């Protein structure tokens, strides 16, 4: 597989996708020997109908949906689902610590409501928004406790 030198996530992601797809193809091909076995399997058809019509009812009429009548349709759907809940999720969420570890980027709690116009708190917000912000977030010790959990 060719490397994408300036974007390691894409290169690694393509390798992971290929590995998942190979495994899913082998697994599905072991249990479903032909397109007919997929097309005539009531459990697969019920599951796919639920995914399409209930899980994404607002998009059920879009043309991009797989028909789920071939073994290739089944392997594509399973590959996409496994990709999203594994490698994609990890790539998106493992970067949380560097971002969320700096509390002002992602405060864990706010100790004040947004001030109403005409109040002293609102005037403080207008005059020094940074100080007003610091008064809403957790104290330093609490912050360290919460960051240690990320």
The whole-angstrom separation of Cα 77 and Cα 51 is 11
Range of the domain at 127: 98-147
Shared domain check, 114 and 45: no
Cα R_g (the chain), whole angstroms: 25
Shared domain check, 70 and 14: yes
78-126 pLDDT, tens digit per residue, is: 999 999 999 888 777 777 777 777 777 777 677 788 889 999 999 999 9
In a domain, 20, yes or no: yes
In a domain, 132, yes or no: yes
47-87 pLDDT, tens digit per residue, is: 999 999 999 989 999 999 999 999 999 999 999 999 999 98
How far apart are the two ends of the chain, measured CA to CA in Å? 35
92-96's contacts with Cβ under 8 Å and 24+ in sequence apart are: 96/150
The whole-angstrom separation of Cα 82 and Cα 89 is 10
What is the tally of helices (H) and strands (E) in the chain? 9, 0
Shared domain check, 105 and 90: no
- What's the structural domain count of the chain? 2
Q: Global pTM?
A: 0.62
């Amino acid at each position: 597989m060719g490397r994408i030198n300036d974007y390691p996530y894409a290169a690694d992601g393509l390798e992971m996708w290929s590995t998942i797809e190979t495994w899913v193809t082998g697994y599905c091909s072991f249990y479903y020997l032909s397109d007919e076995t997929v097309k005539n399997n009531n459990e697969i058809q019920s599951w796919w109908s639920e995914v399409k019509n209930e899980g994404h009812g607002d998009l059920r009429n879009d043309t991009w949906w797989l028909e789920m009548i071939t073994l290739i349709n089944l392997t594509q759907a399973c590959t996409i689902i496994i990709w999203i809940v594994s490698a994609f999720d990890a790539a998106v969420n493992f970067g949380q610590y560097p971002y969320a570890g700096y509390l002002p980027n992602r405060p864990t709690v706010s100790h004040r409501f947004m001030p109403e116009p005409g109040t002293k708190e609102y005037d403080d917000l207008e005059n020094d928004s940074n100080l007003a912000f610091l008064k809403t977030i957790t104290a330093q010790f609490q912050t360290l406790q919460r960051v240690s959990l990320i």
